[in-house]
Amino acid sequence: MNIKIVSDANKATGLTVVIDVFRAFTVEPYLINNGVKKIIPVGDIQVAYDYKNKDNNIILIGERNGIILPGFDYGNSPSQIENIDFSGETAIHTTSCGTQGIVKSINAKQIITGSLVNAKAIVRYIIKNKIEEISLLTLCRVGKKPFDEDILCANYIKSLLENNPLNNLEEQINQLKNTTGSKFFDKSKQKDFPERDFYLCTEINKFDFILKVEKDEEGKRYIKKIDV
């Protein structure tokens, strides 16, 4: 098994796990778990608005720089949607990093999303399907290093695949409170980064399914739930 951790989407090949712990690919499992019929990930904000203009029943979920976009129904926050029934709904999802990683992974053979909430399910999927080439894509902004939480998630998945699980995972998660997770504990940022989001995003292996990126008959991407 060839496992590589990359931060450049162009270098992601084989099965690519696009990782976004805070918060895109924690939000999507919650949406699916709460009954969403279809998630359509997009990179361009205008594409999201175009979907809404064609069908006002569509739910818009997303952010830029962590802040909910104008006219959107929800931000990119799991605590906002954790108790909402989305049965039968279609959601358009666009974020600063996570959905961009999907769009930009043009060399990937297949794409699944990744987060701490379904890390073991990802590992089971890879092992079950005997996948040999795996890219763990840790996202980052231009000129910046990958986010600590995404590096941790990638290392966790890699350790499980190599049958050498991390023995200090909880400790490393706790350390995130002082680094990239500190915004969730800033009293002045609770509107956009509620503290509960931190704990929902770091609830290890809550979900027993993976989310795979597929294309419909028109070539448009959508998210498919696969139980493992």
Structure-derived torsion over alpha carbons of residues 111, 117, 120, 124, reported in degrees to the nearest 10: -40
What tens digit of pLDDT does each residue of 174-202 get? 999 999 999 999 999 999 999 999 999 99
For CA atoms 113, 101, 165, 82, give the dihedral sign: negative
- pLDDT at position 142: 64
DSSP 3-52: EEEES-GGG--EEEEEE-TTTHHHHHHHHHHTT-SEEEE-S-HHHHHHHH
- pLDDT at position 139: 86
The CATH homologous superfamily to which domain 2-227 belongs is ComB-like (3.90.1560.10)
What is the Cα–Cα distance from 5 to 150, expressed in whole angstroms? 10
- Which residues of the chain are under the pLDDT cut of 50? none
- pLDDT at position 118: 98
Provide the residue ranges of all domains of the chain, joining segments of one domain with +.
Answer: 2-227
- pLDDT at position 143: 65
- pLDDT at position 211: 98
- pLDDT at position 144: 78
Report field, pTM of the whole predicted structure over 0.85 = yes
Alpha-carbon distance values, 178 to 156, 173, 198 (Å): 20, 10, 12
